[in-house]
C-alpha cells in the first residue's frame, strides 16, 4: 500500500493522471485479451471436440431449461388435464392494462407457452 | 403547574421559532423542494434524487433538541472523528435514524451492495461479443484525471481525486471513493454525480455532434455474434480473479459487480438474482439516498467549494464523453469505418442512459441505424473502467 499523499504539485498531478490512465488502459486491454482467449478456447473446443463442448454447454444451461421438456408426457392424460386459469397479481409501472396484455400475449407467443402457465411479476416502462 | 409557561416553552421549542436562525437551512429547504420537483415532475433519476432531496429536507428542518437530531454531522466529519475515528458505539447508542443509516455509507457497504444489484441487472454479452469496446470504456475515464489535475489546484489531493471521480458518471463509485477520501465533500459530490447522470441526454449530444461528422454518425455496425452461456459464466469469475490479483483495491466494487452478474448468469440462483435486482437494490437505494441527502446541511453545503465541485464535475463529465468519442474516431479510422464513434460516448458508465443517448443520436443521423446493443459494450466496460479508476485513486490516496 502507498503512503497517503498530503500534497501534489501540478507536475505530479499530470504524472499521476498519465500513469493512472495507462493502468486503466492496460487493465482493460488485458481483460480484452482474456476475453479473446476465452472465446478462442470455446471455439477451438467446439471445432475439435464438439461433443465435449455440447456437454459443457448442457452443464451450464441445465438448470435454465425446463426439465419437463425431456420427460415423455402421456398424450391422453395431457388431453384430459385442462389448463388452470391465470391467477396472481402483476405490478405495472407506467404501463396501461392494454399494453401489459399485449406484452404478455407477445411473450407467450414467442415462448410457445400458454399464457396461464407463465408468471409475470411486473412490467415496467423504461424511458 | 404553570400552563402559560408550558405554552411559552412549546412556542420557543417549535421549529417556527428557529426558522429564522440560519438562512442557509432555509436555502437548503428550497433546494430540496427544487430537487423533489426535478425528481418527481421531470423524472431526473427519481429513485435517488427523491431520497436525496428528502434527506436534505429532513436534516435542514429545525429540530427540538440535540437528543432528537436525526443526524449529527460532527460525529462523522468533526475534528474528533478525524483525529480518533468515528465512535460507532456512541452512534448506535445515541444516534438518530439518519446516523444509523449513514453507517452504511461511511463503511462503504451501500455502494458495494448497489454494485451487486447492478451486476445482476447487467448483460455483459455485448461486451464479450465485441471485446474492443473495453478500450472505449477505458478512454472514457479521461475526464476523471483531467478534473483531478484541475481540482488539485484548489483542493487537497484526496479531495481532488474524489471530485475527479464524478467524471466516471457512476454514483455508487463516487460515493465509495469520497466516503474514504473526502467525507466532508460527500453531499456535494454525490449530488453532482447523480445530477450529471440524469442530465446525460442534455450534456452528451452537443459534444457528440461537435466531435463527429454526420458521415461517421451514419455508420452502421455489423450485428454482434451470439455469446454462449459458458462464456457469460466464465467471464465474471475470470475478471474477478484477474483484477483482484492485479489491483486488490478494486475488489470491493468489481468483486460485487461480478458476483451480482454471476448470480444472474449461472442459472441456479434465480431467487438470489431476483432479490439482488429488486428488493436489495430498492432497499439500499432508499437508505443511500436519504442518508447522503442528510449530509447536505446548509452551513456546510452552501459554500464556494460546492459551486467549484459542480463546475469541475461538469468538466470531468464532458471530457470523459470526449475521450470515448476520440478513441471511437480512432477505432473508426483503424477499422476503415466499421465502428461508429458515437458508441465511444457510451463509455461513461451511466448504464443504460449513455448507451440510449448514443443510439438515439445514431438514429437521428440515419433512421435505420440501431446502435443500442453496440453501445452497451462500451457502457458496461465503462462501469469496470470507473471501478478500476476508483481502485487506483483509493490505493494512491487512501
Region B356-373 average pLDDT: 90
Least Cα distance to A96 among A74, A125, A53, A61 occurs for A125
Q: Which of B116, B376, B119, B342 is nearest to B227 (CA)?
A: B376
- Of B354, B360, B356, the C-alpha closest to B321 is B354
Beta strands per DSSP E along B68-169:
none
Q: What percent of chain A has pLDDT over 90?
A: 24
Nearest chain B residue to A8, by CA:
B157
Q: Identify the bridge partners of residue A44 per DSSP, sorted by sequence position.
A: none
Please give the residue of chain B at the shortest CA–CA distance from A36. Answer: B131
Take residue B255 and report the three cell numbers written for it: 468483486
Whether a cis peptide bond, with omega within 30° of 0, leads into B352 is: yes
In sequence order, the β-bridge partners of residue A93 are A124
- What ipTM was assigned to the predicted interfaces of this complex? 0.85
Taking the CB of residue B81, how many other CB atoms lie within 10 A of it?
A: 17
Q: Is there a contact between B191 and B296 (Cβ–Cβ < 8 Å)?
A: yes
- Selected residue with higher pLDDT from B10 and B325: B325
Q: Beta-strand (E) ranges in A25-117?
A: 91-93
Cα–Cα separations (whole angstroms), residue B64 to A114, B26, B277, B301: 60, 17, 39, 22
Contact indicator for B168, B386 with CB cutoff of 8 Å: yes
Determine what percent of chain A is predicted with pLDDT higher than 70.
Answer: 68
Distance from CA of A113 to the nearest CA of B (A): 20
From chain B, the residues in CB contact with A13 under 8 A are 148-149, 152, 157, 160
Q: How deeply is B206 buried, as exposed, middle or buried, from its count of CB atoms within 10 A (0-12, 13-18, 19+)?
A: exposed
Distance from CA of A98 to the nearest CA of B (A): 24
Residues of A within 8 A of B234 (CB-CB) are: 38
Average pLDDT over residues A28-39: 94
3-class secondary-structure state, position B137: helix
B123 pLDDT more than 80: yes
Phi-psi region of B267 (alpha: psi -120 to 50; beta: other; left: phi over 0): left
As a 3-state breakdown, chain A gives helix, strand, coil percent values, each rounded to 5, of: 65, 5, 30
- Cell numbers that stand for B344 in this block: 465511444
Which chain A residue is nearest to residue B243, measuring alpha carbons? A27
Report CB contact under 8 Å: A32, B145.
no
Cβ atoms B326, B50 nearer than 8 A: no
Q: Tell me if B231 and A56 make a contact (CB, 8 A cut-off).
A: no
pTM of the predicted structure, to 2 decimals: 0.78
User: Nearest by CB to A31, which of B156, B239, B267?
Assistant: B239
Task: Measure the CA–CA gap between B102 and B287, rounded to whole angstroms.
Answer: 8
- The pLDDT score that the predictor gives to residue B19 is 60
Report whether pLDDT(B396) > 80: yes
pLDDT of B307 above 60: yes
CB atoms inside a 10 Å sphere around CB B82: 12
Given a cut of 80, whether residue A86 has pLDDT beyond it is no
Is residue A73 predicted with pLDDT exceeding 50?
no
Average pLDDT, chain B: 89
Give the distance from residue B339's alpha carbon to the nearest chain A alpha carbon, in angstroms.
17
Interface of A with B (CB under 8 A): 1-2, 4-8, 10, 13-14, 16-18, 20-21, 23-25, 27-32, 34-36, 38-39, 42, 56-57, 60-64, 127
B230 with A42: Cβ contact below 8 A = yes
Residues A44-58: tens digit of each pLDDT: 888 887 777 677 767
Q: Which of B157, B233, B247 sits opposite A27 (nearest CB)?
A: B247
The answer to whether B138 contacts A29, with C-beta atoms less than 8 Å apart, is: yes
Q: Which residue of A has its CA nearest to B233?
A: A60
- What is the SS3 assignment for A6? coil
Could A13 and B228 be called an inter-chain contact, meaning their C-beta atoms sit closer than 8 Å? Answer: no
User: What does the domain layout of chain A look like in residue ranges?
Assistant: 8-65, 84-127
User: Contact A60/B388, CB-based, under 8 Å?
Assistant: no
Least confident of B63-67, B70-74, B370-374: B63-67
Q: What is the pLDDT of residue B200?
A: 87
Looking at residue A74, its pLDDT comes to 43
Q: What are phi and psi of B314, to 5 degrees?
A: -65, -40
Q: What is the pLDDT of residues B84-121, one digit of tens each?
A: 788 899 889 888 888 999 999 888 899 999 999 999 99
Q: Which residues of A touch B139 (CB under 8 A)?
A: 25
CA A97 vs. chain centroid, Å, equals: 27
Interface A:B, Cβ pairs < 8 A = 119
Q: Give pLDDT tens digits for B164-218.
A: 999 988 888 999 999 889 988 888 898 888 878 878 888 999 999 999 999 999 9
At residue B328 the predicted structure's pLDDT band, cuts being 50, 70 and 90, is very high
Domain limits, chain B: 106-292+300-397
Asked if B228 and A42 come within 8 Å (Cβ–Cβ), the reply is yes
Please answer yes or no on whether B128 and A64 come within 8 Å at the CB atom: no
**pLDDT for the residue B6:** 84
Amino acid at each position: 500500500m502507498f503512503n497517503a499523499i498530503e500534497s501534489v504539485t501540478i507536475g505530479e498531478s499530470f504524472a499521476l493522471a498519465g500513469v493512472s490512465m495507462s493502468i486503466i488502459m492496460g487493465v482493460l486491454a488485458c481483460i480484452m485479451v482474456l476475453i479473446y482467449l476465452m472465446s478462442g478456447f470455446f471455439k477451438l473446443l467446439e471445432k475439435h471436440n464438439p461433443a465435449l463442448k455440447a456437454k459443457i454447454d448442457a452443464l451450464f444451461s441445465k438448470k435454465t431449461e425446463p426439465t419437463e421438456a425431456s420427460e415423455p408426457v402421456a398424450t391422453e392424460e395431457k388431453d384430459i388435464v385442462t389448463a388452470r386459469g391465470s391467477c396472481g397479481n402483476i405490478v405495472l409501472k407506467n404501463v396501461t392494462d392494454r399494453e401489459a396484455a399485449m406484452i404478455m400475449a407477445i411473450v407467450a407467443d414467442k415462448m410457445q407457452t400458454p399464457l396461464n402457465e407463465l408468471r409475470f411479476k411486473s412490467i415496467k416502462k423504461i424511458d | 403547574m404553570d400552563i402559560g409557561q408550558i405554552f411559552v416553552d412549546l412556542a420557543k421549542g417549535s421549529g417556527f421559532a428557529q426558522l429564522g436562525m440560519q438562512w442557509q437551512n432555509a436555502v437548503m429547504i428550497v433546494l430540496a423542494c427544487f430537487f423533489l420537483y426535478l425528481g418527481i415532475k421531470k423524472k431526473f433519476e427519481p429513485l435517488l434524487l427523491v431520497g436525496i432531496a428528502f434527506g436534505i429536507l429532513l436534516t435542514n428542518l429545525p429540530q427540538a433538541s440535540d437528543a432528537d437530531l436525526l443526524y449529527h454531522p460532527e460525529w462523522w466529519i468533526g475534528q474528533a472523528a478525524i483525529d480518533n475515528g468515528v465512535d460507532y458505539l456512541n452512534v448506535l447508542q445515541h444516534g438518530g435514524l439518519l446516523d444509523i443509516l449513514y453507517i452504511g455509507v461511511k463503511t462503504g457497504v451501500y455502494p458495494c451492495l448497489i454494485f451487486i444489484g447492478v451486476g445482476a441487472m447487467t448483460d455483459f454479452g455485448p461486451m464479450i461479443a465485441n471485446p474492443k469496446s473495453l478500450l472505449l470504456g477505458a478512454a472514457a475515464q479521461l475526464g476523471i484525471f483531467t478534473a483531478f489535475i484541475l481540482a488539485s489546484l484548489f483542493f487537497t489531493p484526496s479531495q481532488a481525486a474524489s471530485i475527479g471521480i464524478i467524471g466516471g458518471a457512476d454514483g455508487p463509485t463516487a460515493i465509495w471513493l469520497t466516503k474514504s477520501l473526502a467525507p466532508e465533500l460527500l453531499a456535494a459530490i454525490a449530488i453532482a454525480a447523480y445530477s450529471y447522470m440524469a442530465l446525460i441526454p442534455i450534456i452528451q449530444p452537443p459534444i457528440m455532434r461537435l466531435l463527429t461528422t454526420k458521415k461517421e454518425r451514419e455508420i452502421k455496425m455489423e450485428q454482434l455474434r451470439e455469446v454462449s452461456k459458458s462464456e457469460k459464466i466464465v467471464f465474471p469469475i475470470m475478471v474477478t480473479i484477474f483484477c483482484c490479483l492485479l489491483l486488490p483495491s478494486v475488489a470491493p466494487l468489481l468483486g460485487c459487480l461480478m458476483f451480482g452478474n454471476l448470480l444472474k448468469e449461472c442459472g441456479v440462483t434465480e431467487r438470489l438474482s431476483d432479490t439482488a435486482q429488486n428488493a436489495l437494490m430498492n432497499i439500499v437505494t432508499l437508505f443511500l439516498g436519504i442518508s447522503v441527502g442528510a449530509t447536505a446541511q446548509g452551513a456546510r453545503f452552501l459554500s464556494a467549494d460546492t459551486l467549484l465541485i459542480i463546475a469541475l464535475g461538469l468538466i470531468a463529465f464532458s471530457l470523459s464523453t470526449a475521450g470515448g468519442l476520440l478513441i471511437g474516431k480512432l477505432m473508426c479510422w483503424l477499422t476503415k469505418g466499421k465502428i461508429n464513434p458515437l458508441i465511444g460516448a457510451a463509455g461513461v458508465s451511466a448504464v443504460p442512459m449513455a448507451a440510449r443517448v448514443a443510439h438515439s443520436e445514431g438514429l437521428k443521423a440515419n433512421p435505420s441505424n440501431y446502435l443500442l446493443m453496440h453501445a452497451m459494450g462500451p457502457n458496461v466496460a465503462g462501469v469496470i473502467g470507473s471501478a478500476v479508476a476508483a481502485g487506483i485513486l483509493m490505493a494512491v490516496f487512501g
